[in-house]
Chains A and B, each alone.
Chain A
Amino acid sequence: MTGAGMAPRELLTDRLMLGLVALVALVLGMPSLKPLFATLFPRLDRPLYEAESFVSLTLDHMALVGLSSLAAILLGGGAGIAVTRPWGREFRGLLETVATMGQTFPPVAVLALAVPVMGFGAEPALIALTLYALLPVVENTVAGLDGVPAAVLDSARGLGMGPAAVLFRVELPLAAPVILAGIRTAVIINVGTAAIASTVGAKTLGLPIIVGLNGSNQAYVIQGALIVAALAVVIDAGFDRLAGWLTRWSQR
């Protein structure tokens, strides 16, 4: 089911397309829903969150998630590759222990602990999100590279490939679906944690929710929650599509 050859009927039931349309409509059209929120919540003086535009909050949210995920992919992927090489094998147990133990730490607690260590703002949120996203990426990179059959590696080396060629042309392509699953877990967790990061001073889609909860403004809460939920569903559907492509590509 690729975008180009899609029948109109499929387009209507496609989760990614529907979600994307809903997300864009919500982000751009929220101000025009002001009369609706005014009717639903007649007692509120301000039925629409207007301190920041939803467009800028969404972009900031995506930037925080994108940067932290990118850093986690580079660092976590690098660490995962390092401990599966002969020279790094000794650190593998330690890295796996840290990744497993770290994932039992609730993300919200990790985020909160960043404040006593680094203060308030977007930077501690970025570092906390990066640290947390590292764990599933590391775990799946190691698992994915581990799953490459030894016979395949042997024949690649037999063909005269050097270690770098084996890694980039054989191991990483074969491990890609498993690594992508780890990245997906990390990104989805980060979309949610970035929303909570509004409590530590980062401007994200969580801000209308937090402001609404503290000021008993249910309209703000719904506006922020709808957009952040749509964003998460769209990103998840996007990963679904990506995983499908990757599987077909690696089977070719």
Chain B
Amino acid sequence: MTDRLPLHNRVALLMALAVAVAALALPFLGFAPNRLLSGRPVPLWPALQGLDGVAVLLPGLVLLTAPFLRPTRAGLGLTIAAGGLFTTGLVWLAGAQAASLAQGASAAARTSFASGFWVMAAAGLLTAIDAARRLGLGAVGRLAVGGAVAGLVALQLASGHLDALSILKEYANRREVFADAVLRHATLVVAALIPTLLVGIPLGVAAHRVQAVGRAVFPVLNVVQTVPSIALFGLLMAPLAALGALLPGSGISGVGPLPAVIALTLYSLLPIVRNTAVGLDGVPSPVREAARGMGLTPRQVFLRVDLPLALPVFLSGLRITVVQAVGLAAVAALIGAGGLGAIMFQGLFANALDLVLLGAVPVILLAVAADALLSIGIAAATHRIGVLPGRSAP
């Protein structure tokens, strides 16, 4: 036994300290008689005494020892498991607490997550993510860790264990509105993506082949990207409303999904055009010449050489576009386009904070999920072409 504990992981130490401070000093949950009143704080300690507390206590204790674990496969694997299970355990405990607080309270009573929950959940996740990186897990491996945590939370959601929490009460009140909003949100993004790809890819190819095209197109798209979304939505309203008045029966209107899709398309073009052009620019000319030397026609060279080699860069452009469009579609709710932003802003305007969460959290989850899926696609496309000399991975 040495005098001092051997410190192996200072990141885990910082996170363990954050967990300790949050557990002692910050409220775990907030309990309010109804959704308009602010809640009284519910600390973590009393909640830990029951059987449900084990879900947090057990991984929590391992998490506190994580800074001193050797950075071996076993040590880091244990840290990943402890961090992930600690976060899902917090969710479980919050659900159980909310259910017990709901007993004997009116149906309007609300239990919501408080700052202590958020700090501890984030610390648990970050410990796991950092340990996964130390273990040398690639993008896909880290996504698997994140997917496992998301899966455990999804199971709790599906089982009804979390139903007494305020965000789910809010959901239960507007199940259909919520489902419609998610669908509408995704539809807006896809509806903008189709014209973006149809126009953006040919434009990117043209910018790669003819320099003058790039010089003409990029400054315009850059300025569009600079204009704040809410301003672009606003500026599109009047011309479209005027057009709708000129063409009665055309269905054109200054509010609703049409201006939203037009604005989303304008924003989405830049990453697609730029990355199509940059991806093609990055194809080494010896490779192209070798393909021509083998007797491939220009069309075959484009389809079999240029396209697969430019694909990873193109996909990173698509990733930027989709993640950006998910966020912009939320702003589009302000001009009546619907989607999850409508729920979020309805909550903000009515001072209903659980409603804000019900809108904002799924927007973030959608963006993160789109990012994760496209990351896997980029990893696969990069893996397929291998590493070319003189060309760094995107």
Give A residues with C-beta under 8 Å from B. Answer: 90-91, 93-94, 97-98, 101, 104-109, 112-113, 115-117, 120, 188, 191-193, 195-196, 199-200, 206, 209-210, 212-214, 218, 221-222, 224-226, 228-229, 232-233, 236
Contact = CB atoms under 8 A, between A and B. Distances in A.
A210 B345 CA distance: 11
B234 A224 contact: yes
A106 B228 contact: no
A91 B11 CA distance: 6
Contact of B10 (A91, A191, A210): A91
B323 A104 contact: yes
A113 B356 contact: yes
Tell me the interface secondary structure of chain B in the complex: helix
A109 B327 contact: yes
Contacts of A210: 334
A37 to B, nearest CB: 11
Interface string B209-233: 0000000000000110011111111
A115 B11 CA distance: 29
Given A106-B328, A209-B231, 12 more contacts: A97-B133, A109-B327, A109-B361, A112-B347, A115-B356, A116-B354, A192-B228, A195-B230, A206-B230, A209-B230, A228-B231, A233-B226
B348 A108 contact: no
A106 B363 contact: yes
Interface string B325-340: 0111011001100000
Nearest to B229: A192
Given A90-B11, A195-B231, A232-B226, A106 B238 contact: no
Given A192-B230, A196-B230, A209-B234, A106 B126 contact: no
Contacts of B281: none
16 contacts: A93-B11, A94-B126, A97-B133, A106-B330, A106-B363, A108-B341, A109-B364, A109-B367, A112-B347, A112-B359, A117-B118, A192-B231, A225-B230, A228-B228, A233-B227, A236-B226
B367 to A, nearest CB: 5
Contact of B367 (A106, A115, A218, A229): A106
Nearest to B348: A199
Interface residues of B, number: 55
Ranked 6 nearest A-B pairs via Cβ: A106-B327, A192-B228, A225-B234, A225-B231, A116-B353, A112-B360
Contacts of A98: 126
Contact of B363 (A109, A193, A206): A109
A105 B367 contact: yes
B360 A109 contact: yes
Interface in B81-126: 112, 115, 118, 126
Contacts of B323: 104, 106
Nearest to A206: B230
B42 interface: no
A61 to B, nearest CB: 10
B326 to A, nearest CB: 6
Nearest to B330: A108
Contacts of A224: 231, 234
A90 B133 CA distance: 11
Interface centre among B9, B11, B118, B347, by most chain A C-beta atoms within 10 angstroms, is B11
A199 B238 CA distance: 22
B353 A115 contact: yes
Contacts of B9: 90
A104 B11 CA distance: 23
B92 to A, nearest CB: 21
Contacts of B357: 113, 116
A225 B235 contact: yes
A93 B230 contact: no
Contacts of A93: 11, 130, 133-134
A233 B357 CA distance: 32
Given A90-B10, A98-B126, A108 B231 contact: no
A108 B324 CA distance: 11
Report which residue of A104, A214, A232 has the largest number of chain B beta carbons within 10 angstroms of its beta carbon: A104
A214 to B, nearest CB: 8
Contact of A222 (B126, B226, B234): B234
A228 B228 CA distance: 7
B271 to A, nearest CB: 13
Interface in B154-183: none
Contacts of A113: 356-357, 360-361
A236 B238 CA distance: 26
Given A104-B323, A210-B334, A222 B235 contact: yes
Contact of B231 (A105, A232, A236): A232
Nearest to A41: B238
Nearest to B15: A94
Contacts of A236: 222-223, 226
Contacts of A212: 234
Contacts of B14: 91
